[in-house]
Structure 1
Amino acid sequence: MFTRITLLAFLFIFFLSPVFAQQQLLFFQTDWGNNLSMDEFLKRTKNDGYNGIETWFPFSQDVQNELKAGLEKYDLKVIFLHGTNKGLPYAEALKVYEENLQKIITWNPVKINSHTGSDYWTLEENKAFIDITTIASKESGIPIVHETHRSRFSFNVPLTVEMMNLAPELRLNLDISHWMVVHERLIDLKDPLLQQILPRVDHIHARVGFAEGPQVNNPAAPEWKSALDTHLDIWEHIIRNSGQEVYTITTEFGPPPYLPTVPFSNVPIADQWEANVFIMKAIKARFAND
């Protein structure tokens, strides 16, 4: 027979303790390569079980109005992409980056994902962009993450670790598919440098890369099982160890030429949308028994 103290302890453990709190995963669909109308894209996104979309911020007022109405209609959230314009002189690029960031913040998105800096600039030059986002994130309360991406400050693993040491408040969006091709190997969970990076990851771009490219042709194909499992292991580790009650993931298989095509006809050899839904379901399956 339970004593009153035992009963209270039981109730605390199973109903109040955060150890038993189930993490909520929020999935976002990319609009990269989308050819549907805004309404059809958002409707299909909702019907396939996504919680929102990730898109570059539209500076056209008409597109903003259409997007806002569509998100409300289908009860979808939004993560906005933002980026450094590497085609501008450095000082101008820094100025435009900050101005556009402030415009995005007015929308109060779930997160802002930044393509930050350039692989042609020094660590200190790239850090200036990160410093802008650190201040903006604290002032707005909106999480701002910096994507691990080729041609940016974070194009490889060692330089990303260096930037982490230089910018201790840096938070990341991990798209590890880029690093698989940059380092020409499947980087696995045991990699010591990667282990330093994973605690900084607050958002995931879920695409499967391999030693010779940033995107396998079809993640459901059995020949890519090793690559798929390597990515899933890393993503699951990040999510489970993040300490976040709500974790965001964007499925980001892209269109041609990221998606290979048949020579001469240029017909895609797989379906981009199906690949993204497959990845969403594969991640969900890792947490199905929680």
Structure 2
Amino acid sequence: MTTIRFFCTRWGAAGIDWYKWAAQVRTAGYEGVETDVPVGRPELRTMLDALKAEGLQWVGQHWQTMDADFSTHKAAYREHLDDLIAAGPLYINSHTGRDWFSLEQNEELINLATELSVQSGIAIYHETHRGRFAFAAHVAADYMERLPDLRFTLDISHWVTVAEFWLEDQSATIASAIERTRHVHARVGYTQGPQIADPRSPVYEEAVAKHIHWWDRVVAAAVKSKRKELIFVPEFGPAPYMPSNPKDDSPLADQWNINCYMMDLLKKRYNQTFLNTIS
């Protein structure tokens, strides 16, 4: 039976003491975290010790490589992946390539990640993220056709934002992406942006329902494939992702509370009864 687990994003918590934050994460009910690795070995050791002290596992995240020159970009990409692999995460979620690199260049980076994954035994999944190779559904379709082993971190809010509609006419591409999804970022976007202000508001009922429908299908695919587990990361972000009050630039909602709300909502939804109905 597939186990659905929930990890906490480190995004928005930079600068908070690792031990304090890890204790907060565990108390909230998360089983692990998603994070990049700190620069400098002393902080990395502190991070790993703090997570171990709270019994938390972790997924590595790569997002840093932004170089415009492809050769420089590839070298930096490899360096960041090597650092993550050496630190020993469960697996890695990667922001891979650039949206304006050629298909062949982005494919070269994906193949490099595959090579490192095979060598290390640590899986690398590629996030459907704006600015990267899989920034839009119709573009990701080309890569899926060429790369049968391509696996995703699905953050479908990006595809909705790029398309400016709910992707109704790309059902085949969505279905293929769902079958390839191994990690989920549970942030709700809408047709004009990657993050609604507050998923608890009835104003955003349609957007929340659309995303839950897609996530249900990801869970169903994992269960039917008899995968051991599927990890969700509620990933509502801080400013400037978080919409703000134009009068004083204050956030319209609290990032931590929203992510905990989304975790609790999905925990209740993906209970044993739900899983039994699709097994």
What aligned pairs does 1:207-226 form with structure 2 within 5 A after superposition? 207-226=187-206
Q: Identify the residue that residue 277 of structure 1 maps to in structure 2.
A: 260
Q: Identify the residue that residue 270 of structure 2 maps to in structure 1.
A: 287
Match of 1:204 among 184, 187, 206: 184
What aligned pairs does 1:156-167 form with structure 2 within 5 A after superposition? 156-167=136-147
Distance 1:146 1:228 in 2: 23
- Count of residues in Structure 1 that have an aligned counterpart in Structure 2: 269
Distance 1:102 1:87 in 2: 17
Deviation at 1:133, TM superposition (A): 1.1
Q: Identify the residue that residue 7 of structure 1 maps to in structure 2.
A: none
Q: Identify the residue that residue 28 of structure 1 maps to in structure 2.
A: 7
Q: Identify the residue that residue 149 of structure 1 maps to in structure 2.
A: 129
Q: Identify the residue that residue 5 of structure 1 maps to in structure 2.
A: none
| Contact 2:234-2:262 at 8 Å conserved across structures | yes
Distance 1:185 1:118 in 2: 23
Structure 1 segments of 4+ aligned residues over 6 angstroms from their partners? none
* Structure 1 spans left out of the alignment, 5+ residues: 1-20
Match of 2:98 among 94, 118, 126: 118
Deviation at 1:84, TM superposition (A): 6.0
TM-score when normalising by structure 2: 0.92
Q: Identify the residue that residue 245 of structure 1 maps to in structure 2.
A: 228
Q: Give the SS at the match of 2:16.
A: coil
| Contact 2:153-2:185 at 8 Å conserved across structures | yes
| Contact 1:209-1:227 at 8 Å conserved across structures | yes
Deviation at 1:202, TM superposition (A): 0.5
Deviation at 1:192, TM superposition (A): 2.4
Pairwise CA RMSD of aligned residues? 1.6
Q: Give the SS at the match of 2:87.
A: coil
- For 1:61-104, what per-residue CA distance to the aligned partner results, in whole angstroms no more than 9, with x for missing partners? 12101101101110101111114622252112111211221221
Comparing 235-244 with 184-193, which one deviates more in the overlay?
184-193
Distance 1:179 1:100 in 2: 26
Q: Identify the residue that residue 56 of structure 2 maps to in structure 1.
A: 76
Note if 1:266 corresponds to 2:249.
yes
| Contact 1:189-1:195 at 8 Å conserved across structures | no
Q: Identify the residue that residue 161 of structure 2 maps to in structure 1.
A: 181
Note if 1:66 corresponds to 2:46.
yes
The one of the two structures with greater contact order (alpha-carbon pairs below 8 A, sep at least 6) is 2
Question: What is the letter of the counterpart of residue 131 of structure 1?
Answer: N
Identity of aligned residues (%): 33
| Contact 1:83-1:115 at 8 Å conserved across structures | yes
| Contact 2:138-2:170 at 8 Å conserved across structures | no
* Structure 2 spans left out of the alignment, 5+ residues: none
Distance 1:287 1:256 in 2: 29
Distance 2:170 2:68 in 1: 39
Distance 2:267 2:185 in 1: 15
